[in-house]
Homo-oligomer: A and B are copies of this chain.
Amino acid sequence: MRTALCDLLGIEYPILQGAMAHITDGKFAAAVSNAGALGVIQCGFDTPEYMREQIQICRSLTDKPFGVNLIMENDRIDEIADVCIEEGVQICTVSAGNPATIVPKLAEAGIKAIVLIPHARAAKKMEKLGAAAVVCEGLEGGGHIGSMTTLPLIAQVVEEVNIPVIAAGGIATGRGLLGALAMGCVGVQMGTVFLTSDECTVSDVYKQLIVDSKDNATVLSGVPGKKQVRCIKNPFTDGFWERYYAGVPEEELYDYCTGSIARAHNGDYEGGAFSAGMISPVIKEVKPVAKIVTDIMAEADAAWEDMKRIYG
């Protein structure tokens, strides 16, 4: 299997690792890139100095391409973009907020900007601004979510833009990858499956919650109509909704959520916000990153053989 995304980014397999705040640092991204997919360093609300350090760590650990995620809500995002340019980063993913100024800046510097978009209108706008590709992330994805689901989003976007389209949200298997290619995408972005890797630094409690999940294991938390996050349903999310429906003031709700991400990473089952995608129940074990990637590719190849039988 070789898609236009492999050629565009110089990677072996058409898989991007989703940037996850406080998790996918330079060391982690290097592990993913060494496995033949594209590792992506998160930026969260980190400083330009921290980002430079992570980029350098990543480069010291891999000679393969890697990316840096730029979150538009980071107050110092322009400086971080400058760091990427200075450090010779080749690929940036851009998410959360309005990327209208950063995309042309990256494109001008020769950095391939891959932009997360919520609908076809935004995809067309990003194409005009010089984006190299777009990621369509459906609301089934973990963490911060949009308002459309993956299938109708990609169906619309592949028809409306000429740049490559990457599917995200609800995909963690080789079959999901092959399905995205069948629908006209050039590859996929996956988050949750990389969260359950040996190399991931979150606690074993977090990984095991995903491995043990069944059926519709995730819920949203966060005030409806404002930013919401998809998490594994647990006492923390139950508590959020109890408070919300009891009419607790928003300020108190924010207080309730403060620290919940760190608590999840540290394995506090009761109090953590365990961001994860709706695809969690298909993930059955914690594996090394390299095995995650090779298993996905082997599954995709097997699914391809099944499809050849359908077409006789």
Contacts and interface: CB of A to CB of B under 8 A. Distances in A.
A244 to B, nearest CB: 11
Interface of A: 1-3, 118-121, 138-140, 147-152, 155-156, 158-159, 169-173, 175-176, 178-184, 214-216, 224, 277-279, 281-282, 303-304, 306-307, 310-312
A176 to B, nearest CB: 6
A278 B310 contact: no
B156 A149 contact: no
Nearest to A282: B155
A152 B176 CA distance: 9
A224 B219 CA distance: 14
A151 B152 contact: no
A155 B173 contact: yes
A179 B82 CA distance: 40
A1 B310 contact: yes
B151 A149 contact: yes
B279 A151 contact: yes
A119 B282 CA distance: 12
Nearest to A219: B147
Contacts of A307: 181-182, 304, 307
Q: Which 9 A-B pairs have the closest CB atoms?
A: A151-B170, A119-B215, A179-B183, A178-B182, A182-B182, A152-B278, A179-B179, A179-B182, A140-B149
Contacts of A155: 170-173, 175-176, 279, 282
Given A149-B150, A149-B170, A182-B182, A156 B120 contact: no
Contacts of A3: 310
Given A147-B216, A148-B278, A179-B183, 17 more contacts: A2-B310, A118-B216, A119-B215, A120-B215, A140-B152, A149-B150, A149-B151, A151-B179, A152-B281, A155-B173, A156-B281, A175-B183, A181-B310, A182-B303, A183-B303, A184-B303, A304-B307
